Amino acid sequence: MSNFWDDRYRDGKYIYGTNPNAFFKEYIIKHPIGTILLPAEGEGRNAVYAAQCGWKVEAFDLSKEGWNKAIKLANQQNVNINYQIASFDSVEYRPSQFDVIALIYAHIPKENKTEFFRRLLPFLKTGGYVLFEGFSKEQREYQKQNESAGGPKDIDMLFSEDELSTIFQDMEIIKLEKCITTLSEGIGHSGESAIIRMIARKSHIK
The string of pLDDT tens digits covering residues 150-187 is: 999 999 999 999 999 999 999 999 999 999 999 999 99
List, for residues 81-140, the tens digit of each pLDDT value.
999 999 999 999 999 999 999 999 999 999 999 999 999 999 999 999 999 999 999 999
- Specify the amino acid at residue 33: I
CA angle 141, 18, 91 (to 5 degrees): 85
For β-strands 172-185 and 124-135, DSSP reports them as unpaired
Alpha helices (H) in the chain, listed in sequence order: 2-9, 22-30, 45-52, 64-76, 110-120, 139-145, 161-167
Q: Please report the pLDDT score of residue 204 as a whole number.
A: 67
What number of residues does the chain have? 206
| Mean pLDDT, residues 55-79 taken together | 97
Q: How far is CA 80 from CA 70, 102, 160, 195, 199, in A?
A: 10, 18, 35, 30, 26
Contact 9, 17 (CB under 8 A): no
